Structure 1
Amino acid sequence: MSKVTLTYRFTFPDSQERAFELEMDRDTAELSPPNVPQPPAWTALGFNQCTGCPFNAAETPHCPAALQLAGVIDGFTDIVSYDKVKVTVESEERQVTATLAAQQALASLMGLIMASSGCPRTAVFRPMARFHLPFSSESETAYRVASMYLLAQHYAAREGASADFVLNDLERVYRGVHSVNRGMATRLRAASRQDAIVNAVVLLDVFSSLVPAAIHDILDEIKPAFAALLAAK
């Protein structure tokens, strides 16, 4: 089974450094099981379980997304949202470095983890996790979301299923993610002494609300770049 490794390296305001190495399946984009021998109480499935979660505690005692995030929480207990951190993201293809607010850096890392964690509600974003682009802008995010969604419709059409090429069902996809973000924020308020962790999830949720509402406007803004392709039809 082939694996893909992504590493987030943080340099904090006090010059301390910490690295988080994520290993995901190259084909499915699911993270390898986390090494959490004694999961904290806030990872229990029934602890502020997300609305609509398909799991039950008898079969799945711990929230898979919370388990994957447990290793991140300890590294940010003394960081506040607007502390500036330097982050380097390393993958097979490239290295990206940025200096930005802790909540923005964490949102990028946590969004990647949650998409690939094994949570069935966030699994819709595994294609974006597999081809991860850290610190993407609003326009880049809209472009990537639309590209991912429309490629899924292409696959559906090739297999004889109905396809949504006008993004009508994209909002439904995001409603499931919104529910997970809200539930996770509630969990994390009980787990972290500082606000950077919780605000990172809130920031993710802002995107999950903004993108489906504004995606057509954002895509209209970048339409001129497609002039040659449209003229070739």
Structure 2
Amino acid sequence: MLRFLFNEPRRLDSEELVMVQSAINSFRKVIFSGRTRVEIPRDRQARFDIWCQGFIDAVNELEQSQYVARKYANKVHKKFIEQMTIEESDDYHRFIYFYKNALIRMFSILDKLGYFMNEIFNLRTEKVKAKFSYFTVLRNMRGGSANYKWLEQQLTRIKDENKSKLDKLRNQRNMEIHFINVDMMDDLMDENRRGGDRIRLEDAQANMLDLDHGCHMVMQAMKIVFTYLSRSR
């Protein structure tokens, strides 16, 4: 949808995106058949089907935000605001906009996936923590039913493999969503002081590498969950 910003043709879906969408659609096909790995009450089947359509839309929107952020990141070459032309400054702020958009969407998908798993596996994570995240759900799955032990291990593995980058991205998301707490403010001031009186720009390429890792982890998690659910019991 957003390729038009760069006068490009419509997107050709990547192999990763196709696999995720295919896994979700495979699960949708068996929701009403009773052949899913977990039993879904008849009065909740339509709800899960709508939920799946929302996931397809969400990963599509994430890919678009990630793509546009990278396109503008590639236009940013300066380290300080004072060095930039008006055009470069505009591209930098466009990068920031779409980067933040992708960052928020990435964690939004994870949290929605956590709520989805909490519901479909009847994990009752809300009894552990009223406002829980995807990561809370993963912790709650440990030591639970052997029926989803393999799934929990696979999701934990890819989370641990990306831990350092996920922690960094989560801090950035928290700064954007919850404004700035005292510790975040101190870190931000220290970062700016490295440039003296000049205002240092975000490292667009480094940020995009972290974002790419995070988005890849999200796609992996989605594929694993829905492939698992699509298989017969």
* TM-score, normalised relative to structure 2: 0.31
Bigger helix fraction: 2
